[in-house]
Structure 1
Amino acid sequence: MVFGGIAALVSGNGSSTGPAATSAPVALASTAGEQRVQFSMCGSRRHTCVVDGDTIWLQGVNLRLESFDTPEPHNDICGGEREKALAHQASARLLDLLNNNALNVEMHGKDRYDRTLATIRIGGRDVGDILISKGLARSWPNGREFWC
């Protein structure tokens, strides 16, 4: 399978109705290794863009990035401006990371919202770990929602 010049090496296609996936990973990379992809912030057309700090669209596929969580920019769950500001910072940092680095994407089935669960690595490091280290995200599922 190819997504805009990125070849997907499929090793499983199971899905899950719960929050965790149980299928084997699907690696998204070319034979040359990591790929560069240009993202924008999502608008009405969602093809290759950043929705928020932990959700993206890649070549028309909705990916929920695993193992971390960021505040939602459009939901006022905690009722504070700090949450919205942090959500926008996390989204902007993810966009910057994706646009300025070569990526390796691993897919791991589906979540209960039918999004493909994925891990994106830059230089072997999970983008979630990068966002967590900058105080823009929390570990999932055991991290404290510090923005509330």
Structure 2
Amino acid sequence: MSIIRFDQRRRSARPPKSARRDTITPALAVIALLSVCTLGWIAADSFLPGGGQAVVASEMRVQFRMCGSGQRHTCVVDGDTIWLDGMNLRLQAYDTPEPYDDICGGAQEVALAKRASARLLDLLNSNSFSVETFGTDRYDRTLATIRIGGTDVGDILISEGLARRWPDGHEFWC
């Protein structure tokens, strides 16, 4: 058995590693936190609808027609979806019936859908309008509001009984 004696002269003047102040770890933690916050800000700006701000175009006049097979440049798909210069726009805050006879309202829904689509076509072709965009929906359509003289076209269609508020309106065509 060997005995190790404490020798005061061999003791280091530096404190042991465990007692030293670690300055690297807090600095790395701050850098990591700033990186995560920056990435979160970029992701929110890119992926949230509208990215926090709307884009408004100036007043325009464009000639639309009803969309046909393969025609998807500047046309009306239905009462709440259009193509404008190759961009698919889902007009938000209102909903119109779908022009398919196998949906809940059958032939009556199809007839109302055609009236809503024709009215939107007439509104767009008869007036200058502005477009305000707000990001995209789950189908990768650009969410938009179209205003004629400051009034949302959805409000016009709702007041004429051709659409309902979305998402809280009653689906009256079913």
Indicate the TM-score class for this superposition, using the shorter chain for normalisation. Answer: 0.7 to 0.9
The question of whether the paired residues in 2 share the 8 Å contact of 1:53 and 1:71 is answered with: yes
Q: Which residue of 1 aligns with 2:173?
A: 147
**Pairwise CA distance, 1:72:** 0.8
TM-score (norm 1): 0.83
**Pairwise CA distance, 1:55:** 0.1
CA distance in 1, matches of 2:87, 2:145: 14
Q: Which residue of 2 aligns with 1:38?
A: 63
**Pairwise CA distance, 1:76:** 2.5
Aligned length: 128
Q: Which runs of 5+ in 1 are unaligned?
A: 1-12
TM-score (norm 2): 0.71
1:51 aligns with 2:80: no
Q: More strand per residue: 1 or 2?
A: 1
Does 1 or 2 have the higher relative contact order (CA < 8 Å, sep 6+)? 1
Give the counterpart letter for 1:26 in structure 2: V
Shift >3 Å, 4+ stretches: 13-16
Give the counterpart letter for 2:148 in structure 1: I
Percent of paired sites with the same residue: 69
1:122 aligns with 2:151: no
The question of whether the paired residues in 2 share the 8 Å contact of 1:39 and 1:95 is answered with: yes
**Pairwise CA distance, 1:109:** 0.1
User: Within 5 Å, which residues of 2 pair with 1:91-102?
Assistant: 91-102=117-128
The question of whether the paired residues in 1 share the 8 Å contact of 2:79 and 2:117 is answered with: yes
Q: Which residue of 1 aligns with 2:89?
A: 63
